[in-house]
Amino acid sequence: MEDDEQIINNEEVIQPDESQNTEEVELANPSSEQSGEVSTEEPQGTTDEEAPDESEQEEEKPPSRREQLRIQQLLKKYGDPQQGHAQQPPKSSSEMDYSKELNADEELIKQLEADRNATAQRSYEEGLKRADFIEWNTSLRIDAPIVAQKYPILDKNSTEFHPAIADAVNMWYLRMTGYDANSRTVKDPSISYADFVDSYMELVEETAAQKNLKTVKNVAKQAAATGLRPDGSSAKRLNLNQAPEKMSIEELYAAIGQKPPQHK
């Protein structure tokens, strides 16, 4: 339990590797030097029919390095819309060609290639899981102080702090996200800690309100059945076991758990 709580209380939070972060790059506006000025003067001796179309002469410029980096960031964040299949690890151009380098039969070569591909796939998936965990952990570090400020009952530095409730909320959240303390992975990093706590607190408040309403009705019904007046004095005992048509006004209201209207 303590190991899992450390991830919430920021005592064991993994710092994201800054070397893996890519600086946010804005699309560069082409300068006048890059675009060049196009002369509008027609060369002498050339008619309108002979003048070539400037739009056909201008070749489409390749995207700049900044634009390429920005495109890569967007593809990494949202995925390539043209790729509907599962992600595959990129193939290295330096991989050994077993069929050329080894003097072995075809079955052995196929097995070696399959093993290599499986190893590469596992490494690739582990890298994705690691990236998901870092992103989730970073989001958790941002949400934790916000939640503590909003709900003092979960703030360990507050006089209203309730350890049992905080432990229950945090444990439930870790289970919902599929957090694994041993492998340092999380199955569903999309679940926000702040959103989860808000939903949990709303559920608790609604449950408490319903329970309180039920208690009030039971007290009112019991008071009506025992014949207690608001001032504590005894009243005529009500018979709630008879048919409704035989009940008095007080008995009918008591049967439905309400008080009769007071006449002034």
Is the CA virtual torsion 70, 74, 80, 85 positive or negative? positive
- pLDDT, residue 86, reads 47
- pLDDT, residue 245, reads 64
Which phi and psi (to 5°) does residue 234 adopt?
A: -80, 145
SS3 1: coil
Q: Please list the alpha-helical segments (H only) found in 26-181.
A: 32-35, 54-57, 65-78, 98-101, 106-150, 163-177
CB-CB contact of 67 with 28 (8 Å): yes
Question: Which residue's structure tokens are 């600086």?
Answer: 23
- pLDDT, residue 6, reads 57
Q: What are the tens digits of pLDDT across the range 85-135?
A: 445 555 555 666 656 666 667 777 777 777 777 777 777 777 777 888 888
Q: What's the predicted TM-score (pTM) here? A: 0.43
Alpha-carbon gap, residue 153 to 170, rounded angstroms: 13
Q: What are the tens digits of pLDDT across the range 217-228?
A: 776 666 666 655
- pLDDT, residue 18, reads 45
Instruction: Give the HSE-up count for residue 129: Cα atoms under 13 Å, Cβ half-sphere.
Output: 14
- pLDDT, residue 233, reads 55
Write out residues in the chain with pLDDT < 70, as ranges.
1-104, 219-237, 239, 243-247, 255-258, 260-264
Instruction: Give the HSE-up count for residue 170: Cα atoms under 13 Å, Cβ half-sphere.
Output: 25
Report how far apart, in Å, the C-alpha atoms of 51 and of each of 35, 60, 178, 191 are: 21, 20, 68, 62
- pLDDT, residue 184, reads 84
Neighbours of 153 (CB within 10 A): 14
